[in-house]
Structure 1
Amino acid sequence: MSEMNPYQQPTADVAVPVQGGELTLGEPKKISVGDAMGWFGQGKEMLSGNWGLVIGSLIVIMLLNMAVQFIPFIGWLAGMFIMTLLYAGLVKMFYRLDSEGSAEFADLFAGFSEKTGPLVILALIQMAVYFVVIVVALAAVFMVLGFDADTLNAMESGIMPDSAASGGAIAAVVFVMFLLFVGIGLLFYFSIPLVFLGNQGPGEALATSFKACLKNFVPLLIYGIVATLLVMVASIPLMLGLLFAMPLLAGAYYASFKQVFAE
């Protein structure tokens, strides 16, 4: 009978901390509405002692987004790329707060040096999708309302198309567009952390995000409604409440990603 050596390394499987900015992901799990409501508390817990860091980071994101909009012709385009990279950095910040208990302001810019290529491709895909949807929407409006040169000339003269027909057609187009934008939201909701932390390619990340959001559509819908109400209430006192609401929602977003995907 062999004796146990107290200095021998354990032979059983031992959990290994995640390293290198990647999470071990599994198939997206189905969560409940109660789980979704718990994301707010989990986000608040990660913010303990780190409110200043996250608030400062969010202010920098807002200021940079505003600044690039002043660039002639390409401001909106630059903004889309920069925001994708900065949001990846914000995700890394919360990953470190969750796994290590601390983070640095430099983490906000991690997307400019880590996974930059896939993130840029993701931003390009997002831009292309929105462009196609807007073009299709405009084409649908013109087709449904039967716009032609005579109609446009009449509208310039102050003569509008038949209100009942145009109203119903526009309502139908708006409804279809709403469904399209919901679909786009499902595609991109989890895509940035899936690329940055999950090491997935842009196409795989979009497919995985859509699958996860569709599986948890009702909890995400309820969570989105509560989050929107929180932002509305926080905006009342001169928007100062957003200094509390936005960091909380950023933390809740990371918590949602972790609960749905991380093993």
Structure 2
Amino acid sequence: MIDEKQLEIDDLQVHYKIVNAGATTATVIFIHGFPFDCSIWDKQMEALPDDICGISYDIRGFGKTVGGHSYFSIDLFAADLNALIKQLQLTRVVLCGVSMGGYIALRAAERTSDALAGLILCDTNAEADSNQGKLKRFASIEQIMGGGKALFAENFVKGLFSRQTNEHKPLLIKQIVDIIAATSDDTICAAQLALASRTETISALPAITVPALIVRGEEDQMMSIEQAEQLDSALNSGGIIEIADAGHLPNAENPEAFNEAMNTFLKRIN
């Protein structure tokens, strides 16, 4: 059963969901991407093995996590994550991040590895934004500030999903559109600036020695196979798991295949 809780960390009221295990051997912390919330991980939380605790949380400014200032950075998000781990006194933590959640997981792993037992990196990369990518983010900020949030959401979702999802999963598409609509303009713009200003983590990858799983939706238009291969090679993960009928959110688009890969990995590290 998934329970919902609030935790105060410094200036934040962090909303998170938790699935407790009987004799816990590890805890998976699920980190959502931009501009989503922790609900995208519900099907993974429900599918965890009996001995694995699951936590999904809303990143600063997203979902039901409130408080704090309006300046965001990937380093700040990573500091929030490590504070969550410390306050909950977690050990043997597996970080599972999709897209921006993967950036946060890598930065958190770079900052501290004391409790880290594994990494699941999904449709993400270790590179900084290119100049073209930065300009695209700045343009989206201008669009939102000019009252074009609905158009931003429409265009964003168009490139998010696989053909199968676009044709046959309208409820999933609506869920994502509704999440974006419920997220404040300030949060979306601040997060875009955080993404544009992030530094690369390629140079930090050799120091990460815990087991890693690299997952990618076969039809992802936002992250390339070359970026996944870079992570696979640097982290020695033993190969990329590609999820069929999935784009940038394979955990939501094809949860059965994603969960199989996730649980096989969790058994291996246990």
TM category, shorter: under 0.3
The structure with the largest alpha-carbon Rg is 1
TM-score (norm 2): 0.27
Higher helix share: 1
The structure showing larger relative contact order (alpha-carbon pairs under 8 Å, at least 6 residues apart) is: 1
